[in-house]
Amino acid sequence: MQSLRKLKPGHGLDLQDIAPPPAPAAGEVLLKVKSAGVCGTDLHIDEWTASYHFLAPALPVTVGHEFSGVIELLGSGVSGLAAGQLVAVRPSVVCGRCAACLAGQPDACTSRRGIGVMRDGGFAPYALVPARNCVVIPAGIDAEVAAMAEPLTVSHEAVRTGGVKPGDRVLVLGPGNIGQGIAIFARAAGARQVVVAGHGDAARFEVLRKMGFDDLIDFAATGMDAGLAPWLKDSKFDVVIEATGAGAVIKPAMAALKIHGVLVITGIHAAPVPIDLTALVRQHQQLRGSYRAPESAWPEVVDFMRGHQETLRHMITHRVPLSAAYEGFALARSKVATKVMVQPELEAAP
């Protein structure tokens, strides 16, 4: 079968013919992949940026960690799942042996391995995954929407980490897939205003408008300070959530926060970022990091999908066959797309 793989350290990925996965072992299931989303993490693995060198010992590996699939085979000892069920895959595989796992706290596992990062993932027709990492998708939710479960849990966790509450003004920096999800969950949390800012992101702004967001700032036309000025005239923001990975936005983001405001960092930054701690202290501001969502958040996000599928579907802007997966990477990198779905069953254009 074809599989998009990282073969060695350095730039690039390869579409390679490999053997299909073996029959599932005890506690595993074999999935027929339906949709797999292209994520910023995949772009970083492709580019081999500094913060992803940790996966070198796992190479070669099939990438892709945002995916849904239909269960084909179940290994021994698997309960609560059945062949033919559509599931989303929680990509963080816990060890089950460390002190946290043994204490029943898998979210604190110290030896986790990521599907699509440290073990084979979803840019392939079939994937072998632990049964405990499968989240059953209710009837009526499309496979491609289900494939967005992982990034939506990241967005959900960012809003929870920021403590967004009814009446808050929220600024989201970065209008990509994670930023759009943050905007959706901030609105659902009762924020009275959600402002989303980007830099030359016209296509992604159009997606946001389709989802009902009109308070948008394009810093490409103004720069950050001038672009934010009209929005700070009467009051500053209660919560600012960064989803860019660009260190240059942190200083203006803190300046846009009110006293006792909260700045949440979700972007992966390739280099250290200087912070004015004196200003943070004097303004009683809080800086919080947000990354992986707890396992308990997944059912909440799946339930949210059930009632908001039509809104969420706007985020899927491109669909490509597996044979054109690398073209999907180019679309995601160019900001033309919000979410590119790689669909192994989709035929390539003639």
Q: Annotated catalytic residue: which of 11, 41, 311, 314?
A: 41
Q: Annotated catalytic residue: which of 44, 269, 308, 314?
A: 44
Q: What is the 3-state secondary structure (H, E, C) of 81-122?
A: CCCCCEEEECCEECCCCCHHHHCCCHHHCCCCEEECCCECCC
| Total residue length of the chain | 350
Q: What is the DSSP letter of 38?
A: -
**What's the rounded Cα separation, in Å, for the pair 4 and 120?**
10
Strand, helix or coil for residue 137: coil
Q: Is 41 a catalytic residue?
A: yes
Closest Cα to residue 311, out of 141, 163, 159, 71? 141
Q: Is 278 a catalytic residue?
A: no
How would DSSP label each residue in 191-217?
A: -SEEEEEESS-HHHHHHHHHTT---EE
Query: Residue 230, Cα to own-chain centre: how many angstroms?
Result: 30
Closest Cα to residue 341, out of 312, 311, 321? 321
**What's the rounded Cα separation, in Å, for the pair 322 and 349?**
12
Q: Whole-angstrom distance between the N-terminal and C-terminal Cα of the chain?
A: 20
Q: Which DSSP helix (H) or strand (E) runs through 172?
A: strand 169-173
Q: Helix 149-162 and helix 297-313: axis angle, to 10°?
A: 110
Residues annotated as part of the active site: 41, 44
